[in-house]
Structure 1
Amino acid sequence: MPEQQFAEYAHEIESTIKIGLFKRNMTQKELAELIHANPQQLNRAIKGDMTPKSRELREQVARVLNL
């Protein structure tokens, strides 16, 4: 059950970020450049990776996209 809850939460985070990007007419690559992040690492963070770096990137994304 916890795995299912985590998967649902990760999907919710991903959807929120994708909608934020869409509203700002911005691509993930542009966002990565803006926050000085590797595009692949940003993608892992958006997909729900739980490493400290991914958590930090999600915080930066939330600030940039006003989430």
Structure 2
Amino acid sequence: MAEEALQEAATAVKKAIKKRLIDRNMSQKEVAEMIGITQQQMTRAVAGASGPRDVEIRHQIYKILDMKEER
């Protein structure tokens, strides 16, 4: 059950980021370049990876896209 909840949360975050990218007419590649990371790192963070670096990347994504962080 916990794994299912984590997966649902990751999917919700991914959808929210992708929607905001579309709303702002931006690509993941553009945001990755702004942060100074690779596209692979960006994809991993957006997909919901839970490593400390992935979490930090998401914080930067939220800031760039002017998103509120859901806790």
TM-score by structure 1 length?
Answer: 0.97
Name the structure 1 match of 2:32.
32
Q: Once the 2 structures are TM-superposed, how far is the Cα of residue 37 of structure 1 from its aligned partner?
A: 1.1
The answer to whether structure 1 residue 15 and structure 2 residue 15 are counterparts is yes
Name the structure 1 match of 2:54.
54
CA RMSD in angstroms comes to 0.5
**Runs (4+) of structure 1 moved beyond 4 Å?**
none
Structure of higher RCO (CA pairs closer than 8 Å, 6+ residues apart): 1
Aligned length: 67
Q: Mind listing any 5+ residue stretches in structure 1 that lack a counterpart? A: none
TM-score by structure 2 length?
Answer: 0.92
Identity %: 39
Q: Mind listing any 5+ residue stretches in structure 2 that lack a counterpart? A: none
Distance in 1, matches of 2:42 and 2:28, equals 8
Deviations 1:1-53 (A, max 9, x none): 00000000000000010011001101111110011111101100000000111
The structure whose residues are more often helix, as a share, is 1
